[in-house]
Structure 1
Amino acid sequence: MGAENSNWHSELSYDQWAALSVSGLRPSARYKHASAVFDDKLYISGGSRNGRYLSDIQVLDLKTLAWSPLKLKVEKNADNSKDSLAGEILPPTSGHSMFKWGNKLLLLGGHSKNVSDSITVWFIDLESNQCGILETSGKVPLARGGQSVTLVGSRLIMFGGEDRQRRLLNDIHVLDLETMVWDVLETKQTPPAPRFDHTAAVHSERYLLIFCGCSHSIFFNDLHVLDLQTMEWSQPQIQGSTVTSRAGHSGITIDENWYIVGGGDNRSGACETLLLNMSTLVVSVLASVNGRDPLASEGLSVSSVLLDGEKILITFGGYNGTYNNEVYVMRPKPRNSPHPKIFQSPAAAAAAASVTAAYALTKSGKLDLSEAEDSDIKVVEENGSQRDLLSEINAVKEEKVVLEAALEEIKAENSSLKGKIEDTATTYADLSKELQSVQGQLVTERSRCAKLEAQIAELHNMLESLPSLEEEVKLLRNQKSALDRDMELASSVQRQKSGGVWKWIAG
């Protein structure tokens, strides 16, 4: 996709990732950076590479597809004692959060060598490029990295993370952006286990969703929901595709749909791009890549931009054995929003129950929808008021269409799962045979090792007795030398005696 085509997004296929051809000097490869979109431009902030924290701001113009660095200015009259670090305006930071607020980008959290015991909120004014610190008050939370930060109206809701002492957190803090006052949210029921490198999203301005993440030893594949009105935690079951454990993934919401990309478990990257409908909590696999693809990376970012009335997903960076600086884009297929089924008030739940009952009557043949549409049937409620059953029937019809579509998706998913199960069974059988063979070889090798160990022990004993043998050999040599001398002396005496006798006889 060339940079010369300003209408490049119209050429994208639905629900498929494509590498974006860009111009200009690309940002250095990195992961655990932060990203945000403002005025058709993608902003990339900080991150980490080879254990070194980064502090630069890079900008990709999504009209011209050209990269350029953003040169920041220190805010006038700013207290430089707070933000000076080796002459840099923004401190090098990794695992932080960044989002748009008005004409500013706000940055907070993350790990940095800049010593701070509490969360600092930085701002970048995108009209003047000035940068500085926003003063906050109230119950300011501990400094941390790998947290999630979600914008709900004019409030920032921060969950979890890992503090400077590597302690894992599962607390909830809220920052009112109009007053810049921090507060702690007290919750009920069982909260998620302490974690970091998770993702969060908000549904209907009321429900905060926390998805996956990790501790120091566990990678999670769970979903937790906090009702921001009742402040109660719950852990609903996810329907649809199996969710593998992951951390370091990234997510972005479009209407009721939550797109989740990348992540991994320190052994392999998550290859599936997931689509989680936040009303029904049904997960489906939108796209898949191979394990070494940049989209199967930890610490990548995903954002969305509105181009010509259409939302486009954009990813950047990540780490999957190598650091990446590629840009990938996806054009999500427009999706109809089903009626909410998971997050309902008690009154809505009672209404849903009556709709379900009406639907059951249609299935049993006791209620004819075609006849009911032309009637004026009224249902008298407990409070004496009446309601039109026809609206309920229409709702049942709509619900039926949604259920039928969901059923088709489930059938397709079941078919896919059956194929995977058959492949897994075949692989398991092959591996079992291979394991038996290896176990037989292992028994033989163990026997051989035992024999070798016995031989080694015997040789070791022989080596230990070698010095005494050498002494005996030396002693025997000395005795042999002495014996040789005695024999030679005896032979010499014998010769002398024999010579004297012959001499006497001759005389």
Structure 2
Amino acid sequence: MFGFSRRRMKLGRLKVQLADSAQGTRSPIKQSKRTSNTNNGESGGRASGQSDELNCQYSSDAPEANNTTTGKSENWMVLSIAGDKPTPRFNHAAAVIGNKMVVVGGESENGLLEDVQVLNFDRFTWSAPSSKIYLSPTSLPLKIPACKGHSLVSWGQKVLLVGGKTEPGSERVSVWAFDIETECWSLMEAKGDIPVARSGHTVVRASSVLILFGGEDSKRRKLNDLHMFDLKSLTWLPLHCTGTGPSPRSNHVAALYDDKILLIFGGGSKSRTLNDLYSLDFETMIWSRIKKKRGFPSPRAGCCGVLCGTKWDYVEAFEVPFLEDVLSVLNSMSGGKALGLDSFTMAFWQHYWEFVRLEAMNFFKVFYEFGSFERSLNVTFLVLIPKKEGAEELKYFKLYKLGELFIQANLLKFWQVGLRR
């Protein structure tokens, strides 16, 4: 189901110790006695303390993972799941409501997905909602867009889909609601200062308020802005804070502690992967960077986590250079440069990246998973191709390496497929 290698998954833990609270300005979030859930399986923990300064400890003595984890032993085990398994994917989102986990969208080898998959924990059975009725505020049939890099949070008997990179694209963040009982989608007509469209952001929920942080916009610019969405009035508002806050990033992890403290960890910036940890006290609206004590997780992006009490458990993502890193390096190269006289220029790779990225990223994935690459990459055959009919002298032949011809033929295949789309 999840698009990362089982060999590279680890269970780690951040232990966040909260001291007594200091007095400050009033939080924009109305406090609630109930503990709320956050996106992608993250949940707010229960505690009585709060602070704008935290200390953090880290441990990763859990064994290597196989597939899934049990809550007590921290050992991984394979679950026997019935039903039609969802299409393999990544950059999807999931949320838990009662005894069900809802998975929406993501990206497969064939492109973006728009499906909804439900895992019943009582029977451990996958199912796809059969209803195709999507309700809009004007009662017209709608269909959720194919999306990736979005967030999914639970709210009562609904899951809320927030933002993401969609097809077709949009200029602003949209919020969709999926009712578990009726299996119907509805588009929430938001108002106010609606955030710019983005993916790789995080969304956590505090009572009837959503808190959105960071991500990456359609121009691949990293963001570190903070917004709140009131689910009762359907109004977006920007939040302004003081203190040292997180740098612009995407694919980070967020959790909300006791509906009062927002935690942000890791992610990817424009040029590197991060492992810094920040907290925002909603009573003082002050960001603080949490000091590292003892060990600390290595830089990572695309992982997920859950806050249980004062402990933040996370599962590492597959340790490969993620897409943003590769694309950042590619875009930093001069477009007129090429690897050889007969090679494509960097401008070609930059312009047609969407058509070739799956092949390119699969190369990196295989290399980092197995620690080796095809020996044939260092071996080639030379061939002389005549420049004109009846050529006999060497000057009328063009020298090619068969390896490059094969690669170029595959690139042209992707390019032609893209044109047909």
The two structures share one fold, judged by TM-score above 0.5: yes
Partner of 2:85: 26
Instruction: Tell me if structure 2 keeps the 8 A contact 1:208–1:225.
Output: yes
Deviation digits for residues 291-350 of structure 1 (CA, Å, limit 9, x no counterpart): xxxxxxxxxxxxxxxxxxxxxxxxxxxx9938xxxxxxxxxxxxxxxxxxxxxxxxxxxx
Matches within 5 A, 1:67-86: 67-76=126-135, 78-79=137-138, 84=142
Measure, in 2, the Cα distance between the counterparts of 1:78 and 1:136: 11
Measure, in 2, the Cα distance between the counterparts of 1:320 and 1:257: 33
Instruction: Tell me if structure 1 keeps the 8 A contact 2:70–2:77.
Output: no
1:145 paired with 2:199, answer: yes
Measure, in 1, the Cα distance between the counterparts of 2:74 and 2:181: 34
Q: What is the deviation of 1:105?
A: 1.0
Measure, in 1, the Cα distance between the counterparts of 2:188 and 2:271: 36
Secondary structure, counterpart of 1:145 in structure 2:
coil
Partner of 1:35: 94
Partner of 1:46: 105
Measure, in 1, the Cα distance between the counterparts of 2:215 and 2:135: 33
Greater share of residues in helix: 1
Secondary structure, counterpart of 2:240 in structure 1:
coil
Measure, in 2, the Cα distance between the counterparts of 1:248 and 1:126: 27
1:190–1:38 CA distance, 2 compared to 1 (3 A): same
Measure, in 2, the Cα distance between the counterparts of 1:25 and 1:182: 38
1:176 paired with 2:220, answer: no
Measure, in 2, the Cα distance between the counterparts of 1:17 and 1:10: 4
Partner of 2:281: 227
Q: What is the deviation of 1:79?
A: 4.1
Gap regions ≥5 residues in structure 1 = 1-8, 269-318, 323-507
Letter in 1 for 2:298: T
Partner of 2:314: 260
Q: What is the deviation of 1:188?
A: 0.6
Letter in 2 for 1:193: S
Instruction: Tell me if structure 2 keeps the 8 A contact 1:40–1:63.
Output: yes
Matches within 5 A, 1:231-380: 231-264=285-318, 266-267=320-321, 321=365
Instruction: Tell me if structure 1 keeps the 8 A contact 2:136–2:186.
Output: no
Q: What is the deviation of 1:113?
A: 1.8
Letter in 2 for 1:185: L
Deviation digits for residues 49-68 of structure 1 (CA, Å, limit 9, x no counterpart): 12611111111111111111
Matches within 5 A, 1:474-485: none
Candidates 73, 95, 106, aligned match of 2:149: 95
Letter in 2 for 1:30: R
Instruction: Tell me if structure 2 keeps the 8 A contact 1:72–1:131.
Output: no
Q: What is the deviation of 1:13?
A: 6.2
Measure, in 2, the Cα distance between the counterparts of 1:64 and 1:185: 42
- Specify the structure having the higher radius of gyration (Cα): 1
Q: What is the deviation of 1:242?
A: 2.6
Letter in 2 for 1:53: L
Measure, in 2, the Cα distance between the counterparts of 1:46 and 1:180: 24
Deviation digits for residues 15-60 of structure 1 (CA, Å, limit 9, x no counterpart): 1111211111100111111111113111111111126111111111
Instruction: Tell me if structure 2 keeps the 8 A contact 1:12–1:18.
Output: no
Secondary structure, counterpart of 1:321 in structure 2:
helix
Q: What is the deviation of 1:154?
A: 1.8
Measure, in 1, the Cα distance between the counterparts of 2:89 and 2:136: 33
Secondary structure, counterpart of 1:141 in structure 2:
coil
1:13–1:171 CA distance, 2 compared to 1 (3 A): closer
Secondary structure, counterpart of 1:73 in structure 2:
coil
Letter in 2 for 1:321: K
Residues matched between the structures, number: 260
Gap regions ≥5 residues in structure 2 = 1-67, 323-362, 367-421
Measure, in 1, the Cα distance between the counterparts of 2:152 and 2:314: 18
1:208 paired with 2:262, answer: yes
Q: What is the deviation of 1:263?
A: 2.1
Measure, in 1, the Cα distance between the counterparts of 2:137 and 2:281: 39
Instruction: Tell me if structure 2 keeps the 8 A contact 1:245–1:265.
Output: no
Instruction: Tell me if structure 1 keeps the 8 A contact 2:106–2:147.
Output: yes
Does 1 or 2 have the higher relative contact order (CA < 8 Å, sep 6+)? 2
Secondary structure, counterpart of 1:253 in structure 2:
strand
Deviation digits for residues 128-155 of structure 1 (CA, Å, limit 9, x no counterpart): 1111201111111011000010112221
Q: What is the deviation of 1:264?
A: 4.8
1:123 paired with 2:177, answer: yes
Secondary structure, counterpart of 2:101 in structure 1:
strand
Deviation digits for residues 94-128 of structure 1 (CA, Å, limit 9, x no counterpart): 01111111111110111112221101100111121
Q: What is the deviation of 1:80?
A: 7.6
1:67–1:171 CA distance, 2 compared to 1 (3 A): same
Q: What is the deviation of 1:214?
A: 0.4
Measure, in 1, the Cα distance between the counterparts of 2:365 and 2:76: 21
Instruction: Tell me if structure 2 keeps the 8 A contact 1:103–1:125.
Output: yes
Candidates 58, 62, 65, aligned match of 2:117: 58
Q: What is the deviation of 1:239?
A: 2.1
Measure, in 2, the Cα distance between the counterparts of 1:53 and 1:111: 9
